[in-house]
């Protein structure tokens, strides 16, 4: 059944009460379920632009919900699922995703993901890399990834590092997409700033392909056409 969000306009007073600086760009109040459905729809739109049968990576897998969508829509030749499934006790990370989950829960979640994708792991379509993104990405050859989805460490440094490490690994016309392209979470402006800075520093090597709600997808451009040719 098609999903049609019930739209209710947020009043000026509600906007003030929400105390969120970006409230003006999301003038709709959605229930949790509606938000989830909308996110699924937005991510599906991005996946529909990804070349089928290529090499995909997902950084930050959690329970593998989006990994299933990648398999269903893109049917990649290979999908690498990258996540340490590990609790980081760092005080700075206390509000972060990994800081809120206990070590034992991570172990259970990791085991469940392995079970859920057991068939694809056996036939070689999926690999699980239980490690941080920086060491995992380093294992890919340059120019070999068709699609990367970044949803791991949302801090400025984390997103920046993932982008810098992944970009050379993408094929020309490859897509790198990010979740949580907004300023509502513990990461503040980290996701936005890291992406915007990268685009500014590589103005002719990438372009914004789409922004769908809190999803942003960039595509890697090939060499500039030779005007003499
Ligand atoms: C928001 S969840 C991912 C949700 C998943 N992409 C989905 O849509 O279902 C974030 C995950 O990122 C992982 N993570 C945090 N820092 C990471 C890093 N540096 N490298 C890889 N994964 C990381 C956490 O362990 C957590 O499982």
pLDDT at 2 over 60: no
Q: What residues line ligand 1, using a CB cutoff of 6 Å? A: 59-62, 65-66, 82-85, 97-98, 132-133, 151-153, 158
pLDDT at 5 over 60: no
pLDDT at 24 over 80: no
Where do the domains of the chain lie?
34-220
Q: Please state the rounded mean pLDDT for residues 34-61.
A: 96
Strand order in the sheet with 78-82: 126-129, 78-82, 55-59, 145-150, 170-178, 215-220, 206-212
**Predicted confidence band at 10 (pLDDT cuts at 50, 70, 90)?**
very low
Q: Please state the rounded mean pLDDT for residues 131-138.
A: 98
Q: Which atom of ligand 1 is nearest to the CA of 65?
A: 9
Ligand 1 centre to CA of 125 (Å) is 20
User: Could you tell me how far CA 13 lies from the centroid of its own chain?
Assistant: 33
Q: Which atom of ligand 1 is nearest to the CA of 101?
A: 25
Higher pLDDT, 25 or 32: 32
Residues ≥6 apart with Cβ < 8 Å to 211: 181, 217
Both tokens of residue 105?
């829960």
Ligand 1 centre to CA of 12 (Å) is 35
Nearest residue by C-alpha to atom 25 in ligand 1: 85
Ligand 1 centre to CA of 133 (Å) is 9
pLDDT at 114 over 90: yes
Class of domain 34-220: alpha beta
Ligand 1 centre to CA of 108 (Å) is 15
Burial of 84 (0-12, 13-18, 19+ CB in 10 A): buried
């Amino acid at each position: 059944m098609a999903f049609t969000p019930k739209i209710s306009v947020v009043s000026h007073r509600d906007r003030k009460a929400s105390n969120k600086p970006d409230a003006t760009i999301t003038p709709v109040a959605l229930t949790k379920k509606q938000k989830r459905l909308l996110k699924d729809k937005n991510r599906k739109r991005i996946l529909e632009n990804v070349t089928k049968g290529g090499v995909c990576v997902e950084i930050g897998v959690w329970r593998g919900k989006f990994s299933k969508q990648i398999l269903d829509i893109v049917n990649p030749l290979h999908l690498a699922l990258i996540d340490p499934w590990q609790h980081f006790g760092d005080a700075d990370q206390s509000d972060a995703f990994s800081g809120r989950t206990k070590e034992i829960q991570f172990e259970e979640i990791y085991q469940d993901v392995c079970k859920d994708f057991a068939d694809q792991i056996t036939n070689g379509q999926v690999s699980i890399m239980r490690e941080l993104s920086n060491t995992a990405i380093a294992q890919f050859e340059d120019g070999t990834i068709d699609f990367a989805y970044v949803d791991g460490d949302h801090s400025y440094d984390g997103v920046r590092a993932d982008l810098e490490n992944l970009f050379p690994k993408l094929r020309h016309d490859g897509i790198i997409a990010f979740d949580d392209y907004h300023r509502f979470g513990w990461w503040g402006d980290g996701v936005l700033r890291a992406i915007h800075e990268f685009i500014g520093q590589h103005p002719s090597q990438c372009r914004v392909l789409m922004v769908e709600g809190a999803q942003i997808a960039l595509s890697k451009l090939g060499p500039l056409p030779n005007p003499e040719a």
